[in-house]
A and B are shown apart, each in its own frame.
Chain A
Amino acid sequence: MAEKIIKVKNLKKEFGKNKVIKGIDFELREGERVVILGPSGSGKSTFLRCINRMEEPSSGEVYFNDILITDKNIQKMRQDIGMVFQHFNLISNLTVMENLTLAPVILKLMSEEAAEKKARGLLRHIDLLNKASAYPASLSGGQKQRIAIIRAMMMNPKVLLFDEPTSALDPESIGDVLSLIHEVANLGMTIMIVTHEINFAKEIASRVVFVDEGRIIEEGRPAEFFAHPKTPRVREFLEKVL
């Protein structure tokens, strides 16, 4: 049995009176590729964002490598928990190269030369080396998101969280981003991804988790999940989207 890299216990999140996550228990093992599906407003993004505390959980516990994540240690934990956002969030006052090297250099994970060398290698790999000194404003959405993915990879994370990585993209660049995520997955990266791309989910997932109204209501291997959904809610959802 592979190591449990993330454990979530009875996670709850409220925004004022609005209960978004109503108690989620979840485990992520090393090498897993978990796709989180669910209708919009189901709390799937919030669930993902509670793992690295982009949102502060209202109650419950999140463990990373068996260590409870707290306000004190979260900064250190985030170095190992990469995240890719729906809106890319490239840092707009920094060039592409600076976006890639800022964190590893400041956090002393790499020397500046080593970071730049690695960044150039990754940029070359995604065919964007010519954009190294460009600012994000001059890039297309697809280019930004691919750079955001390699920015997360610069940190050598143990797990990578994707929060609807293609939802803000035009159809043409979705393919580029998805194939880069595929590549990352093929490197053996542990992945959690919230997405609406059902076909992509089928291809990449080792496990599918379905979230509705702040709870996990069904999960399973993609073959079973898509072919024989157990709950009526998932059947209904799949009928609509497939």
Chain B
Amino acid sequence: MGEFFDKLVELFTTPEYIDSLLHGFLLTMQISFFAIIIGLVLGTIIALIDTAKPSGWMVVPKFITRVYTTIIRGTPMALQLFIMFFVIFAIRGFPQIIIAILAFGFNSAAYTAEVIRSGIQSVDRGQTEAGMALGLSNFTIFRRIVAPQAIKNIIPALGNEIITVIKETAIVSMVGMYDLNMAAKDIGSGQNMASYIVPMFTAALFYLAVVYLITFAIKRIEKRLRKSDLRA
């Protein structure tokens, strides 16, 4: 226990280590943030295509999005990352962070699309019919009736997806990127502290803190959105 405490002091009093941790943390957050944004935008587009009426020319984009989500969800994230790094973006000097953001963004889009699609489809058909019977346009029905109700269904699952992305970015250490996970391993290695326990627990606490904050925020949003469900 004494040694653990000593290592803890060592970690937090060596500016080099703190620096490494913060750098790693920053990279983790950057990759996660932009990947989640890409996932949300692309995922929303895919979901809208998936839920659109299957008329005429819509079959083509519908087919493409189905192939896309099938491939993304059917293969390991680590392999997708490798393919992005060593096949698609095997370009010397191309910024690694952008490759990572795209890899996680494209991956997250498939899952986000499923979350949004099921959220839209779980809105009662009668709600759409009410709008139709009043002579409202499909766009107005979506914007004023379906979307607000779908968002209520979507937010909790979307929170899970955001958390998953943040934790999953830890595999960028497999392609040599210096994220929070990599920083912990580096600080604990032989030429540095020669003990993994403190840096790794510290990294775990960083991840936990972020996940906890997001969970808290999501709960707050959910509560606010649920005001129309209250029977009072």
Question: Bound pair: A and B?
Answer: yes
B70 at the interface (CB under 8 A from A): no
Work out how many contacts link A and B, with CB atoms closer than 8 A: 78
Which one of A4-12, A39-47, A75-83 is at the interface? A75-83
Q: Is there a chain B Cβ closer than 8 Å to A67's Cβ?
A: no
B212-232 Cβ-contact flags toward A at 8 Å (1 or 0): 000000000000000111111
Q: Is the CB of A106 within 8 A of B133?
A: no
Q: Is the CB of B130 within 8 A of A137?
A: no
9-residue interface stretch from A85-93, A113-121, A123-131, A219-227: A85-93
- Using an 8 Å CB-CB cutoff, how does the interface string of A58-102 with B read, 1 for contact, 0 for none? 000000000000000001111101110101111111100000001
- Cβ of B88 within 8 Å of any chain A Cβ, yes or no, is no
Q: Is the CB of B144 within 8 A of A138?
A: no
Query: Is there a chain B Cβ closer than 8 Å to A217's Cβ?
Result: no
Q: Is the CB of B229 within 8 A of A91?
A: no
Cα A92 to Cα B124 with chains together (Å):
10
Q: Say yes or no: A93 contacts B149, CB within 8 Å.
A: yes
* A242 CB within 8 Å of chain B: no
* Chain B residues with CB under 8 A of A85: 126, 129-130, 133
Number of interface residues of B (CB under 8 A): 24
Q: Does B137 sit at the interface, judged by CB under 8 A?
A: yes
Does A107 lie at the interface of the complex (its beta carbon under 8 Å from any beta carbon of B)?
yes
Known contacts A103-B136, A107-B135, A135-B230; A93 and B145 CB within 8 A of each other: yes
For A92, what are the chain B residues with a Cβ–Cβ distance below 8 Å?
124, 127, 149, 228-229
Residue of B nearest to A84 (CB): B133
What's the minimum C-beta distance from B83 to chain A, rounded to whole angstroms? 42
Chain A positions within 8 Å of B127 at CB level = 89, 91-92
B159 beta carbon closer than 8 Å to chain A: no
Chain B nearest CB from A206 CB (Å) reads 23
Q: Is there a chain A Cβ closer than 8 Å to B156's Cβ?
A: no
4 new A-B pairs (CB below 8 Å) besides A107-B135, A107-B136, A138-B231?
Answer: A54-B133, A93-B228, A135-B227, A151-B134
Can you spell out 17 A-B residue pairs with CB atoms less than 8 angstroms apart?
Answer: A52-B133, A75-B135, A78-B132, A78-B133, A79-B134, A81-B133, A83-B133, A92-B127, A92-B229, A93-B228, A102-B134, A102-B136, A102-B144, A103-B134, A103-B136, A106-B140, A155-B135
Going nearest first, the 4 A-B pairs with the smallest beta carbon separation are A79-B135, A103-B134, A89-B130, A78-B135
